[in-house]
Amino acid sequence: MESKLKHFLKEETVLCVALLLAACSALLIHPDLQYLSYIDFRTLAILFCLMGAMAGLQKTGVFQWVAQGLLGRVKNARQLVCILVLMCFFSSMAITNDVALITFVPFTFIVLSLLGAEERKRLVVPVVALQTIAANLGSMLTPVGNPQNLYLYGRAGVSLGSFIGLMLPYTLVSFLFILLWSAIQFRAYDTPIRVSFDESICPSQKGLLVYLALFGLDLLAVARVLPYEIALAATVLGLLIVDRSMFARVDYSLLLTFVGFFIFIGNIGRLPVFYDFLRRAVSGNELLAGAAASQIISNVPAALLLSGFTNDLSSLIVGVNIGGLGTLIASMASLISYKFIAREEGDVKGAYFRWFTFTNLCFLAVLLMFSLR
């Protein structure tokens, strides 16, 4: 029992912190009907819908099928690395950064193994580190790219075009720096190669069209073209009909983390002394506060926490997205790659941590300088 509790605390640290803060704040503001007004049900519903649809699409193998088609045409190792990294960058804009990493990092181990054990050992650390950075940076362009964007997009009440316009300059700079970093780091890998896959492999047809339709409805709900209640009802019905096991693949701990922070922020807002102090600390420093807080508590909790104490949500959006770079916990999605490395290549996880941190800090410095120009 004790070992299970320790494992839970280790695996769900952010959730435990969120629930602890909510519980402590409830001692100051006793639960009442106003608690319901704290919770952003729209964000929670759309997050649930996106996670359900993405779990279904991932199970069909459609992402791996597309990746195989791209990788089957590479001519050298440098092109191979570039495609592996850019797949994470661009796919994360639509399928979220964590789904991109869950899908393509294990796929990368398979691809690199085709080059031989020595080449896999040489490439796995820098490639997976850059894939992780690419997923975190590509995801910042759209509201559906990561959880904090979806929440802040809904809270800010801006149009989809305005949100993308806000983050587009940072995404373009990130893209160019990824290309430059790849060109410098992998310039020596010009050896001709041919990665062969069984091109007869196709994604499973079971539920594919349904999951694509659900994802389309989710995007319409994000853009406020469709009421989120319709997308939620369609997702629940679709998963019940096609594959009920997809409900188990939804990240409920993330949803509960949101609820915990919603309650904490709502209660703090009813305590003038705490509210005024935090508002003064954050106001005017949203970008740097978001980036700094993300290094310690990760960018999703940072977005939830700081959003309650500022009206300049645009700067906060930029701050927590850039703040996904830096430490290993700055973006919780980064832990996905680290766990894969620890499982597949345990003897290099120390080297991976060092290289990941160094590379992330370089990207963080570039984007901070660009944001403060």
pLDDT tens-digit map of 301-321: 899 889 988 889 999 999 999
Residue bearing tokens 């104490």:
309
Q: Is the pLDDT assigned to residue 331 strictly greater than 80?
A: yes
Number of neighbours of residue 301 by Cβ within 10 angstroms: 25
pLDDT in the model for residue 162: 96
pLDDT in the model for residue 190: 67
Band (pLDDT 50/70/90 cuts) for residue 196 is: low
Q: Which residues pair with 168 in a beta bridge?
A: none
Higher pLDDT, 260 or 75: 260
Exposure on the CB side of residue 127, measured as CA atoms within 13 A: 28
Residue 76's Cβ-count burial label (10 Å; 0-12, 13-18, 19+) is: middle
> Residue 364 is encoded by which pair of tokens?
């963080």
Number of neighbours of residue 211 by Cβ within 10 angstroms: 26
pLDDT in the model for residue 86: 94
Band (pLDDT 50/70/90 cuts) for residue 107 is: confident
> Residue 148 is encoded by which pair of tokens?
């904090």
pLDDT in the model for residue 142: 96
As a whole number of angstroms, the distance between CA 253 and CA 139 comes to 21
Q: Is the pLDDT assigned to residue 278 strictly greater than 70?
A: yes
Contacts of 280 (CB under 8 A, 6+ apart): none
The amino acid at 86: L
As a whole number of angstroms, the distance between CA 96 and CA 140 comes to 9
Higher pLDDT, 112 or 246: 246
Contacts of 238 (CB under 8 A, 6+ apart): 210, 211, 213, 214
Higher pLDDT, 199 or 118: 118
Higher pLDDT, 363 or 99: 363
pLDDT in the model for residue 147: 92
The mean per-residue pLDDT over the stretch 7-13 comes to 74
The mean per-residue pLDDT over the stretch 190-216 comes to 75
Please check whether residue 302 is in contact with residue 293, taking contact to mean a CB–CB distance below 8 angstroms. yes
The amino acid at 348: V
| Integer CA distances (angstroms), 5 to 249, 254, 255, 343, in order | 21, 18, 20, 22
